[in-house]
Amino acid sequence: MNSTRSSLSQLDDLLQHRVRLGVCVLLGGESQLSFARLKDALQETDGNLGSHLAKLEQAGYLVVRKEFQERRPVTWYRLSGTGSARLHRHLAALDAIIHAARSARPGSG
Amino acid sequence: MPPSDPDALEDLAYIRRAVERNRTGDGDPASWILWSVLVLVGFPLADLAPHSAGLYWLIAIPVGIAVTLWRGARLMRGRGKLLRRDLLVQGLLHWVGMLAAVAMLLSMVSMTPVSRGPAVMIIVALTYFLYGLHVSRRFLAFAAIVCAGAYGLHVLGAWAWTILGVVLASGFLLTAVLEIRRRPASDA
ipTM: 0.84
Inter-chain residue contact A33 with B80, CB threshold 8 Å:
yes
| pLDDT over 60 at A9, yes or no | yes
| pLDDT over 90 at A99, yes or no | no
Q: Are A93 and A7 in contact (CB under 8 A)?
A: yes
For residue A18, give the nearest of B15, B79, B83 by CB distance: B15
Q: In this structure, what DSSP letter does residue B138 have?
A: T
Residue A59 three-state SS: coil
Q: Give pLDDT, residue B188.
A: 46
Q: Give pLDDT, residue B93.
A: 93
Q: Give pLDDT, residue A18.
A: 93
B129-144 pLDDT per residue, tens: 999 999 888 899 999 9
Q: What is the largest CA-CA distance in chain A?
A: 62
- Average of per-residue pLDDT across B150-170: 89
Q: Give pLDDT, residue B174.
A: 94
Inter-chain residue contact A41 with B78, CB threshold 8 Å:
no
| pLDDT over 80 at B9, yes or no | no
CA distance B163 to B173: 15
Residues pairing with A69 in the sheet: A72
Inter-chain residue contact B21 with A41, CB threshold 8 Å:
yes
| pLDDT over 80 at B6, yes or no | no
Q: Give the pairing of strands B81-82 and A72-79.
A: unpaired
Axis-axis angle for helices A18-29, A81-104 (nearest 10)? 110
- E strand segments, chain B: 81-82
Inter-chain residue contact B21 with A76, CB threshold 8 Å:
no
| pLDDT over 90 at B111, yes or no | no
B19-74 pLDDT per residue, tens: 989 887 678 899 999 999 999 999 999 999 988 998 999 899 999 999 998 998 88
Q: In this structure, what DSSP letter does residue A32 have?
A: E
Q: Grade residue A96 by pLDDT with cuts at 50, 70 and 90.
A: confident
Q: Give pLDDT, residue B60.
A: 95
Q: Give pLDDT, residue B23.
A: 82
Axis-axis angle for helices A46-58, A18-29 (nearest 10)? 70
Picking from B59, B42, B78, the residue whose alpha carbon sits closest to that of residue B165 is B42
How are strands ordered across the β-sheet holding B81-82? A62-69, A72-79, A32-34, B81-82
Q: Give pLDDT, residue B187.
A: 52
Q: Give pLDDT, residue B186.
A: 54
Inter-chain residue contact B22 with A41, CB threshold 8 Å:
yes
Within 8 A of B82 by CB-CB distance, chain A residues are: 30-33, 76
Cβ contacts from A onto B, under 8 A: 66
Inter-chain residue contact B11 with A34, CB threshold 8 Å:
no
CA distance B78 to A33: 11
Q: In the Cβ-directed half-sphere of A26, how many Cα atoms lie within 13 Å?
A: 35
B66-104 pLDDT per residue, tens: 999 899 888 889 899 988 788 888 888 999 999 999 999
Which residues of chain A are at the B interface, by a Cβ-Cβ cutoff of 8 Å? 11, 18, 21-22, 25-26, 29-38, 40-43, 69, 74, 76, 94, 97-98, 101-102
CA distance A34 to B80: 5
Q: Are B53 and B45 in contact (CB under 8 A)?
A: yes
Q: Give the pairing of strands A62-69 and A72-79.
A: antiparallel
A37-57 pLDDT per residue, tens: 999 999 999 999 999 999 999
